[in-house]
A and B are shown apart, each in its own frame.
With several copies, the nearest count.
Chain A
Amino acid sequence: MQPTSGEMLGIYETMLLIRTTELKMVELFKKGEIEGHMLPCLGQEAIPASLAKVYADTDYLVTGHRGGGHYVARGCDYNALWAELYGRVDGVTKGRGGQIHLMDMTKKAMTGNAVVGQQWGIATGAGFVARKRGVMVVAVGGEGSTNRGVFHESLNMAAVQKLPILYVIEYNDRQMWNVCSETTAGERIATRALAYGMEGASVDGNDVLAIHAKAAEFVRKIREGSGPCLLECITAKWTDSVSNLRNLPENVEAMKKPDFDPVLRFETRLRIDGVLTDSLDLQIKENVRQKLQGALSFALASPVPDRYDGIDEVYSQPV
């Protein structure tokens, strides 16, 4: 079940929007215009963009720390994203969480967390809610997070309870300065699913259509009541964090190759297939540019919070 041309262009536009957003984020961070801890998903854009065309608007999304792309792909408040990056009151968390705690519950998206692996337990909880409401959960994390015990506890619990959860692993072979050979046993993360009698698969995570196809298959099964499935997407992150930009394409020659650049790769593919024309491409890029410009203006117009803002919002109800 390949996506339609329209869907493919949608995915392409989403990838461009993520790419443009994150490059801008890096640029503004370097200039010192925005500050804080930020974890771009540059190089991994195919995953959020493809998934967003597979799950439904009513489904739940839970990610770990590298959730910015998923936030965008899900269609969460884009202006509020930029206000957040600028630390303004109209930020999606009122400027409190910053880039690693982006969450937009109007879109059922908990796309932030900074304790690696905790998203798996949270997603399992979301899974119980989803089961009751007749929807499903897409849960996302890096391969490193699968070495946290709670990943295993969650998979086991979800499998026993047949919870409707698609576990997605963004395998980029890097956990900060570590590589998998130093930290991670076994051939593929997908095999970790087998221990729980759960289906798992690995796909090229820089290939939109491969991700889309397998994710769509799993989503169908899950909706039919199979219980959870696990999809491992093999990719490569360009950089770990905005404060450690060693691997950006401008620095590393290899990164400029289409294989390392899922956006370029998908663009090429769409052009070869005749889905993307020059004029369409121009228009899509203009859409993205305008969206970004609009959001930047929105953000800059938003006030800086008072320094005591939020000290009365630690509890939701006064005690």
Chain B
Amino acid sequence: MRQMKFVDALREGMIEEMRRDPDVFQIGEAIGGMQGGIFGVTKGLEEEFGKDRVIETAISEGALGGVAVGAAAFGMRPVVEIMFGSLMTLVVDEVHNQAGSLYYVSGGKIPCPMVIRTCNWMRIISGPHHCGNLDATFMNSPGVKLVIPSTPYDAKGLIKASIRDNDPVVFMEYSPLYTLKGDVPEEEYIVPIGKADIKREGKDVTVITYGVGVHDALGAAEELEKEGVSVEVLDLRTVLPYDKDAIRKSVAKTSRVVITYEGYKTGGIGAEIAAFIAEECIEDLSAPILRVAGKDVPCPSNRRLIEGISIGMKDVVDAIRKLMA
């Protein structure tokens, strides 16, 4: 099958949707020209679709959030790029209060088909204002969907689904994944929102994760296979609303759970997943639910210090070993 980089697959998904539907447009800071945003995701789009559909803006995140809601409410399909994840702090009202409540509070009359894309710029040496991860901020927002792909295939399929979706979607990318290569079919396809994906089957432990975490988990699974431990890797893909059935099934099978995610541990996405399991699947568990996540320390601008607070494959391995002990 065709091999593609994550960033190219994602872009291809957006291009297909823009060709299909003239009401889809892109807006954000420095997204135009041949640059196409700091990560090049929208590279070349302006050339094909023009300045009216690939709209450059000032540093005005609040207005960008508002534009998403307003353009969606009045019938277009905006795709907003927020330059990096820690700036999502600046659109919380627009997502949580405005977009999240609109369909319900309008009596089911005003859908809000908007996508806010951003990139969690992790593992770079740039300090806490650049390396944040605001995913958990949108976990307590009814009406909002939170989609986080881990592979080129999912990135393309999920961005297409997100653009077509009639509800507001926060779509989070992870900078270390952009260059990742993977299978991407030539034929059109969609990855449905709300469905998790078993990225690797296993029977002893389930690692529940999303985004970059998936790759840590897959690495850990491979490592542990050598020791005879069979690890299932459950990629949530849609983090809100998350796929409860998939979690239930996997937990029933393995009875052990590790949740891993790159954000700060306390109050992170993993909290909800663990709480759900502790509430609805506790009888299936034979061990504590472990969370492998970043330390609760603002990201420093220093390689050594980053080592001290961040997680990786090894930490997932350690957690699994602990559970199997």
Which A residues have a C-beta under 8 Å from some C-beta of B?
35-37, 60, 62, 87, 91-101, 103, 105, 108, 110, 113-118, 120-132, 144-145, 147-150, 153-154, 156-157, 160-161, 175-178, 182-184, 304-311, 313-317, 319
Contact = CB atoms under 8 A, between A and B. Distances in A.
28 contacts: A37-B124, A37-B301, A96-B300, A97-B300, A98-B127, A101-B128, A101-B301, A105-B106, A110-B70, A110-B110, A115-B86, A115-B93, A118-B98, A120-B63, A121-B66, A121-B70, A125-B71, A126-B71, A128-B71, A147-B58, A148-B60, A148-B62, A149-B60, A154-B60, A177-B33, A307-B308, A310-B300, A311-B308
Q: Which of B57, B112, B309 has the most CB of A within 10 A?
A: B57
B66 A124 contact: yes
A206 to B, nearest CB: 24
Contact of A114 (B68, B129, B296, B305): B129
Contact of A87 (B27, B55, B66, B303): B303
Interface of B: 23, 25, 27, 29-30, 32-33, 35, 38, 52, 55-76, 78, 86-87, 89-90, 93-94, 97-98, 103-112, 124-130, 142-143, 145, 165-167, 193-194, 238, 241, 295-298, 300-305, 307-309
Contacts of B30: 175-178
A315 B103 contact: yes
Listed from nearest, the 9 A-B pairs whose CB atoms lie closest are A121-B66, A125-B70, A98-B301, A114-B129, A147-B58, A94-B107, A307-B308, A153-B63, A122-B70
Contacts of B302: 36, 87, 95-96, 98, 305
Nearest to A92: B107
B147 to A, nearest CB: 11
B304 A148 contact: no
A92 B109 CA distance: 9
A170 to B, nearest CB: 14
Given A97-B107, A101-B128, 8 more contacts: A36-B301, A92-B107, A99-B301, A110-B110, A121-B70, A125-B67, A316-B111, A319-B238
Q: Which of A110, A120, A156, A178 has the most CB of B within 10 A?
A: A178
A148 B78 contact: no
Nearest to B105: A97
